[in-house]
Structure 1
Amino acid sequence: MSTNLMYWGVSLITDIQERLQDYSGFMIFLSSVGDPRFAFTIYFPVAYSLHRFVGIRVLLAAVISEWLNAVLKWVLHGERPYWWVHQPGLYPEAAVPQLRQFNITCETGPGSPSGHAMITSSVWYILVSDFLHYKHVQSNATRFLCWSIYFLLICAVSLSRLFIAAHFPHQVVAGVLSGVILGQILNSVPISALRPFHYMALTAGLSLFAWATYCLLQLLGLDPLWSVALATKWCTLKEWIHLDTTLFYSLVRDVSSLAGLSVAVWLLSGKRIEKPAESNSCIITAMQIALALSVSLAAENYKPAHDNVLLFYTIGFIKHCLTVMCIVAGISLLFDRPRPLKERQTMDDES
């Protein structure tokens, strides 16, 4: 990537931090709203409680976009502003830009494309498009309003990523564009036609491809973990560095979530529990949302010790796998009823 583009990016970030310094709390909130973890802990449980097929599509969007983002970050080798400005030879020692750091700045993976922008734009695209589809929204004004809100929220999240000096401008633009394209592709996938075999095959495929990419980089003499050392060196406070921001943890979350989905769909396949939740009363739907969020947030709040890295990743795998299993299989078993064959065929045609 052109050094001049990155110089310009640093200047823009500096200007944004100066102009919005009184709104740092709000900027951090916006960045947190776009955190990829929210796709797994908030958007997926709520969407699944409202509509089974939409929930699964949201989870697939979160998994595939985060997985693709991790692979692209390995390949593109993108810098992050908060450490890039300190690299030798870029600025005179007395003129190094003093970019402000925050407790969510020091992510350890490479910077391009932005994971927040890519995953959020993909997941939110699914949410908006499926809302318009299943609610049969025909009004052009309403559709325009929904997509305008989507665009403004994505811009706000992208701006927050610049404000905290986690990304360069071109990285968030690349993330948004790739996320929207991926969302459009996934929106055409017929969820009702997918079986446990498809999810298991996808789990194996993503795992093998990520492993092959990692091995290829090593064979080429490249260090897939090069960014961790820079993050550790230039982060203002070491306690701001977390293992769950590494690319390895993202991949563990993706693979384990898919594995959990595979098992859950297999458990449900013999029961023909496919009825969406949209026909339930508001009270029943609220109960489902509360239960699903309780499971996902309880799992998210459990943080294993970082002392043993292998144990940390192992517990993370089990945690995310069980969370998805409990939400998908548990909610369906508790609240859904089997539908007659004719009703199932009608629903499959609509999905």
Structure 2
Amino acid sequence: PGSPSGHAMGAAGVYYTMVTALLSAAMGKKRSRTLKYWVLWTVLWTGFWAVQVCVCLSRVFIAAHFPHQVIAGVISGMAVAKTFQHIHSIYHASLRQYLGITFFLFSFAMGFYLLLRVLGVDLLWTLERARKWCAHPEWVHIDTTPFASLLRNLGILFGLGLALNSHMYLESCRGKRGRQLPSRLGCVVASLLVLHLFDAFKPPSHMQLLFYILSFCKSAAVPLATVGLIPYCVSQLLATQDKK
């Protein structure tokens, strides 16, 4: 099993960011902490830890991780979220920087993998053991390999860079229309539908190279659609209705 737990780390990082952002907005510019603020603080952090406990228990229950791995995942997820809250340059990164980081991470991972192979270390040894000893070898999926996870993450990073630096995203951010409730609700509903369609698409696993390429493209298409394409289409649709 992976250490620390990726599920626990991801859940902790995402929900920690959401909770702290909501509390910061509730505090306002005056930074005043009223009774309503403390009630919201209690509700949000109680919900946060309830989610973390559920995620950790589920991973331990299905024997995917040991207890110390899920605990380390929660701590590391919160640490990553807290660290990136103070790195403001990520909000203004150019497409060239996104491409450079994506290429660097891929090159570093491949170089490190080849170095370990030269030293006689195979990072995919658990995959071979699982296929050999599992009662149902067909249940061992290729999407659990380190390369599949790497390409999914790189695809998301690449797609996010394309979306944030696209004309569609810049156009959808103009004016106050994108901040209005109808626009946000439309984006949420459309994004959920599109994500459901993406989730239904399963790349063929009989060819590893094709699977990795399609996984990268699928992961890149998700932020490109939800961050760039959908907000642009919703803003254009609302603008057309306003003109009528």
Per the TM alignment, residue 278 of structure 1 is displaced from its structure 2 partner at its CA by 7.1
Q: 1:265 aligns with which of 164, 168, 174?
A: 164
Matches of 2:27 and 2:12, distance apart in 1: 22
Q: 1:258 to 1:270 in 2, by over 3 A?
A: closer
- The residue correspondences of 1:1-351 to structure 2 (distance < 5 A) are 80=1, 111-136=2-27, 138=33, 139-190=37-88, 191-268=90-167, 271=170, 273-274=172-173, 279-281=179-181, 283-336=182-235
1:35-63 deviations in Å (ceiling 9; x for gaps):
xxxxxxxxxxxxxxxxxxxxxxxxxxxxx
Question: Counterpart of 2:5 in structure 1: which amino acid?
Answer: S
1:136-190 deviations in Å (ceiling 9; x for gaps):
4742332133122211211221111111111111111221111110011122233
How many residues align? The count is 227
User: Which has the larger helix fraction?
Assistant: 2
Question: Counterpart of 2:72 in structure 1: which amino acid?
Answer: A
Matches of 1:189 and 1:234, distance apart in 2: 46
Once the two structures are overlaid, the 10-residue window that deviates more, 186-195 or 142-151, is: 186-195
Q: 1:309 to 1:277 in 2, by over 3 A?
A: farther
Question: Counterpart of 1:177 in structure 2: which amino acid?
Answer: I
Q: 1:220 to 1:289 in 2, by over 3 A?
A: same
1:75-107 deviations in Å (ceiling 9; x for gaps):
xxxxx4xxxxxxxxxxxxxxxxxxxxxxxxxxx
1:248-300 deviations in Å (ceiling 9; x for gaps):
1111111111111222223238946435887312x432221111122222112
TM-score norm. by structure 2 comes to 0.82
Matches of 1:244 and 1:154, distance apart in 2: 24
Is contact 1:128-1:146 (8 Å) kept?
A: yes
Once the two structures are overlaid, the 10-residue window that deviates more, 327-336 or 167-176, is: 327-336
Matches of 2:178 and 2:163, distance apart in 1: 20
Matches of 2:72 and 2:135, distance apart in 1: 27
Question: Counterpart of 1:183 in structure 2: which amino acid?
Answer: A
Question: Counterpart of 1:158 in structure 2: which amino acid?
Answer: C
Is contact 2:127-2:140 (8 Å) kept?
A: no
Matches of 1:250 and 1:152, distance apart in 2: 27
Per the TM alignment, residue 310 of structure 1 is displaced from its structure 2 partner at its CA by 1.0
Question: Counterpart of 2:204 in structure 1: which amino acid?
Answer: A
Structure 2 runs not aligned, ≥5 long: 237-244
Partner of 1:90: none
Matches of 2:99 and 2:42, distance apart in 1: 38
Q: 1:200 to 1:136 in 2, by over 3 A?
A: farther
Matches of 1:235 and 1:133, distance apart in 2: 49
Per the TM alignment, residue 225 of structure 1 is displaced from its structure 2 partner at its CA by 0.5
